[in-house]
Amino acid sequence: MSTETPLTEASWLAERLLSHGWRVATAESCTGGLIAATCTELSGSSQWFERGFVTYSNEAKTELLGVPAALIAEHGAVSQAVAQAMAVGALTHSHADIAVAVTGVAGPTGGTPDKPVGTVWLAWAQRSGVVHAECLHLSGDRAAIRQATVAHALAGVRLRATPL
């Protein structure tokens, strides 16, 4: 996991995306738009940030990203399957070359024995069809969990923003 600040990660990501002529889209649940906000905090981000979807509710995941309601019902919103569907949906509904999606339990409430507070699924999807997912088990308060998720999401885009 990245130990850099989210803004530092965004700066490095900007360089990588610009060098490849790529743009990114975000699909966010537990971060509520923080990934998009971090990206657009940088001047010139319109050259590489395509759009962001804040899909906090299950209905928004379905309506805006095309995540099947049955998938959410079967696996739960905080799952690998839903994170991957969110990332693919962000690509489908944008002109981006790569997308990142996050869904998780930032707390302090909402955790379950199977998905305790700090459980976050991230997924990255590329136009080439490559989709990667990862589960984090974070600790700390709500703000710490969300900030760590933002930094990890951006670091993951930077890592994967390499044309095949």
Question: In this structure, are residues 101 and 83 in contact, taking their beta carbons and an 8 Å threshold?
Answer: yes
Q: Is the Cα dihedral 9, 10, 14, 20 positive or negative?
A: positive
Q: Indicate the domain borders of the chain.
A: 6-160
| Residue 117 pLDDT level (bands cut at 50, 70, 90) | very high
| Residue 3 pLDDT level (bands cut at 50, 70, 90) | low
Question: In this structure, are residues 89 and 62 in contact, taking their beta carbons and an 8 Å threshold?
Answer: no
| CA gyration radius, the chain | 14
What CATH number does domain 6-160 carry, 3.40.50.10470, 3.60.20.10, 3.90.950.20, 3.40.50.80? Answer: 3.90.950.20
Taking 60 as the threshold, does the pLDDT of residue 64 lie above it? yes
Q: How many CB atoms lie within 10 A of CB 114?
A: 8
| Residue 163 pLDDT level (bands cut at 50, 70, 90) | confident
Question: In this prediction, what percent of the chain has a pLDDT beyond 70?
Answer: 98
| Residue 162 pLDDT level (bands cut at 50, 70, 90) | confident
| pLDDT averaged over every residue in the chain | 95
